[in-house]
Amino acid sequence: MEKLSNPQVTIETIKKYEFAFQKKFGQNFLIDAHVINKIISAADITKDDCVLEIGPGIGTMTQYLAESAGQVVAVEIDKNLLPILDETLAEYDNVTIINDDILKVDINKIVEERNGGRPIKVVANLPYYITTPIIMGLFEKHVPLLSVTVMVQKEVAQRICSPAGKGDYGAFSVFCQYYAEPELLFDVPASCFIPQPKVTSAVVCLRTRPAPADIRDEVLFFRTVRASFAQRRKTLVNGLASGFPQLTKAELTDVLAACGLPANVRGETLGLEGFAALSNAIGERL
């Protein structure tokens, strides 16, 4: 069939199935072939790849993924989209649709069953209302991943990629940069979707790599990061004092000094290595 990236084909398909967009599922379908091609080429999809697509919608990007990848597994929550996907993806024999909630499905099991446990690439125009839990889930559950190339709200893309010390930098930036090297690729205007979202979007690619810093205890590292950003207007010592009530402020000031940090340092100025040193030093006191 003619591609759904042609807006007319998308409109006809939606009419034919009397499909009603569900706001609660963040349904904004792409209607721009140029944007889809740019996403697929940024993700560097080849026939060697198994791609997990989160939220295929009516299958617009899935059609392109099926042509570029070895196989595509697409997880879609909205059962009303299943008959549409049956038709729009009928000519591809390398696509599997799973009707489930991406936050509940066992992605590691999918990777094991579909790709023998070998690392996959995630490509998606994400439902924006669950961007953070989706990305955190992929990394925290240690899904074997080569990269995650996703359309997200522009502000979220900026937060993911922000360097230490910049306004957008926060616990989620550290989290993403611990697991991957994120790159902000390009903005996508609301006019590239039906219906148009109220926000500007951007595509970000997170290429996984081993953690770039010496972290002795991953759980303690993330606890330290969360405590450091929990009270943004306070100094780091005060944030840490709330997160680690078993340590006194004097002890925490000593910990900072041992890391070569001044007593009035703010958490948002620390990069991965700074947080690694800090959490390792806290670990020695607990």
Site residues, ligand SAM (CB under 6 A): 25-30, 54-57, 60-61, 75-78, 101-103, 125, 127, 130
Residue nearest to ligand SAM (CB): 55
Q: Could you give the strand order of the β-sheet that contains 95-99, starting from the edge strand earlier in sequence? A: 95-99, 71-76, 50-54, 120-125, 145-153, 201-208, 180-188
Q: Which is nearer to ligand SAM, 127 or 243 (CB)?
A: 127
Q: Which is nearer to ligand SAM, 32 or 44 (CB)?
A: 32
Taking the complex as a whole, how short is the minimal distance between the CB of residue 45 and ligand SAM, in angstroms? 15
Which two three-digit tokens encode residue 130? 């669950």
| 86 phi and psi angles, rounded to 5 deg | -55, -40
Which two three-digit tokens encode residue 221? 């590292």
Q: Which residues are within 8 A (CB) of 149 and not within 5 positions of it... i.e. 6 or more apart?
A: 39, 42, 43, 121, 122, 123, 124, 203, 204, 205, 206
Taking the complex as a whole, how short is the minimal distance between the CB of residue 188 and ligand SAM, in angstroms? 10
- Nearest Cα residue to 36 out of 7, 2, 63: 63
Triad 118, 119, 120: Cα angle to 5°:
120
Q: Which is nearer to ligand SAM, 4 or 174 (CB)?
A: 4
CA dist 278 and 240 (Å) reads 10
Q: Which is nearer to ligand SAM, 27 or 162 (CB)?
A: 27
Taking the complex as a whole, how short is the minimal distance between the CB of residue 253 and ligand SAM, in angstroms? 44
Matching residue, tokens 């611990």: 178
Taking the complex as a whole, how short is the minimal distance between the CB of residue 190 and ligand SAM, in angstroms? 12
- Nearest Cα residue to 222 out of 142, 278, 146: 278
Taking the complex as a whole, how short is the minimal distance between the CB of residue 193 and ligand SAM, in angstroms? 7
Taking the complex as a whole, how short is the minimal distance between the CB of residue 245 and ligand SAM, in angstroms? 36
Q: Which is nearer to ligand SAM, 32 or 254 (CB)?
A: 32
Q: Which is nearer to ligand SAM, 133 or 165 (CB)?
A: 133
Q: Which is nearer to ligand SAM, 55 or 274 (CB)?
A: 55
**129-135 CB contacts, 8 Å cutoff, 24+ apart:** 129/24, 129/26, 130/26, 130/102, 130/103, 131/156, 132/156, 132/172, 133/103, 134/54, 134/102, 134/103, 135/160, 135/176, 135/206
- DSSP class of 58: T
Taking the complex as a whole, how short is the minimal distance between the CB of residue 81 and ligand SAM, in angstroms? 6
Taking the complex as a whole, how short is the minimal distance between the CB of residue 256 and ligand SAM, in angstroms? 41
Q: Which is nearer to ligand SAM, 152 or 252 (CB)?
A: 152
